Amino acid sequence: MAKLFYVIGASGVGKDSLLQYARETMSEKAPVVFTHRYITRPADAGGENHVALSRDEFERRHEQGCFAMSWQSHQNRYGIGIEIDQWLELGLNVVINGSRKYLPEAEKRYPNLIPVLISTSSTLLRERLTARGRETQPQIEARLAQAESLDKQLSHPDLIKIMNDGALSDAGDQLLAVIQEKELLVCA
């Protein structure tokens, strides 16, 4: 049975880097596909490779049923296309860059999803958010508080936690093991 891996974590914990690592390191023959997100953010805004949509285009697509999942966060709209349903029907495992707040809704639609929480220390998260230069210091502090609060609220019987405080390959190999359903050697 195909599985849906729902990767979540605060902005700045390294989800995009870990997903890219997994995508590039995974065997070409693995029955796994990685989704892209549709976001109302410019394509050159940095971070993940996504499909940039205007707010109007996003709303049109939403109204026409083009999204399997959609949510709003930090003044942007995010969507996951309905193509994931076809991929799952084909027996492919699907990896999504999701939202912690949207997890309960995602579970309703996909009750067998496997949430994977990427975390990092608050010190390292502060450094990463400061280094990327997209937020003011008050915005960074708000993101740190939100990250701690949301991570504490997460509850799911199949929640897998990966700490991304070291080398990219350390956490990346853990994510790969989860996606490829191999036994985890280290998982925080």
DSSP conformational letter for 164:
-
pLDDT tens-digit profile of 2-48? 999 999 998 889 999 999 999 999 888 889 999 999 999 776 766 66
CATH of the domain at 114: 3.40.50.300
* Domain assignment present for 186: no
* Domain assignment present for 185: no
Number of domains in the chain: 1
Q: Is 48 left (phi over 0), alpha (psi -120 to 50) or beta?
A: beta
Domain that holds residue 159: 4-179
pLDDT tens-digit profile of 64-118? 999 999 999 878 999 999 999 999 999 999 999 999 999 999 999 999 999 999 9
* Distance, C-alpha 41 to centroid of its chain: 16
* Domain assignment present for 83: yes
* Domain assignment present for 113: yes
* Domain assignment present for 144: yes
Enumerate the H helices of 51-111 as residue ranges.
Answer: 55-63, 83-89, 103-109
* Domain assignment present for 188: no
